[in-house]
Amino acid sequence: MDRYSRPSGLLQVMRDELRLRNYSPRTVKAYLSCVRSFARYIAPLLPRDAKVEHIRAYLLYLLEEKESPAGTVNQVYNALRFLYEELYQRPLVIRDLPRPKKERRLPVVLSVEEVRRLLDAPTNPKHRLMLSLLYSAGLRLGELVRLRPEDLDRDRRTIHVLQGKGAKDRRTILAPSVMERVDAYIGYARPMEYLFEGTTPGEPYSPRSVQNVFEAALLKAGIKKKASVHSLRHAFATHLLEQGTDIRYIQELLGHASLKTTEIYTHVANKVVQNIRSPIEALELAEDETEVDDTSEDS
């Protein structure tokens, strides 16, 4: 039995191959978890010996019995496709399998007033600064914790985001007011490597800790929406759109490969919706005019 057959050896080989191909640590972890769960499902059968019907049965099990969301099932599909096509060199194994359409849900967007309350909520200046950077620059959580002081360009008022999603670099805006607070923070925190570090100097701040900071601020601000840290990035894009910023510039700031991804914010931009008149207004206006005519005839 070779190491491609044993589940433990297989996972190590797959981990190495994914990293060599520059997959993000988050994707590597997710794919390994998918394959591990699949291996448990088909045991004692080994993954290498699985047939089309075994993989199909597993996907249907996730959809019908586990009621897993479409995004999760698609991720499992992609992980298994990598396993069989890239490692086992069997491209026909999982062809023609059912793939559910991913739900297209509108993002949760905080209003300008809600963002203000949220950013004012933390009493810890470091926590307040982290949330401010997420919102003011449209950063992803992983991008925030990997920021280094030298990534902030004071002269050009930009933030150089290195190896963002899709392993792409980009530049986004750095608000002067936020930069002033960054300078003050660096003055007393004196980070060694990353802008925001945890209890161990030189180690980045934990993403889970940032999520805890956000959740505490959300509670303190009295915001009932089911928002997450990523909602600040959604708010950044939506508020820029409402201010009249060209959507193509927003696409660049967010680092979206396709404009279609950015266009989802046109569905949640309040200014766009407010400028559209409901047909009932014309109906009610006509009724009012009719009432005026009837009154004038009576007189």
Question: Does the annotation count 225 as an active-site position?
Answer: no
Is residue 127 annotated as part of the catalytic site, yes or no? Answer: no
**Rounded Cα–Cα distance for residues 222 and 114 (Å):** 9
Q: List the catalytic residue out of 127, 146, 239, 256.
A: 256
Q: Please tell me what DSSP assigns to residue 280.
A: H
How far is residue 142's CA from residue 205's CA, in Å, rounded to a whole number? 10
Residue type, 127: H
C-alpha dist (Å) from residue 89 to 43, 83, 84: 22, 8, 6
Residues 6 or more apart whose Cβ sits within 8 Å of residue 25? none
Which residue among the candidates 127, 146, 233, 234 is catalytic per the annotation?
233
Q: Based on the residue annotation, tell me whether 230 is a catalytic residue of this protein.
A: yes
Among residues 165, 171, 181, 220, which one is catalytic?
A: 165
Neighbouring-strand partners of residue 161:
170
**Catalytic residue (choose from 31, 77, 84, 140):** 140
Residue 265 is a catalytic residue: yes
54 is known as an active-site residue: no
Distance between CA atoms of 36 and 31, rounded to whole angstroms? Answer: 9
For helices 176-189 and 125-137, angle between their N-to-C axes, nearest 10 degrees: 150
Active site residue ranges: 140, 165, 230, 233, 256, 265
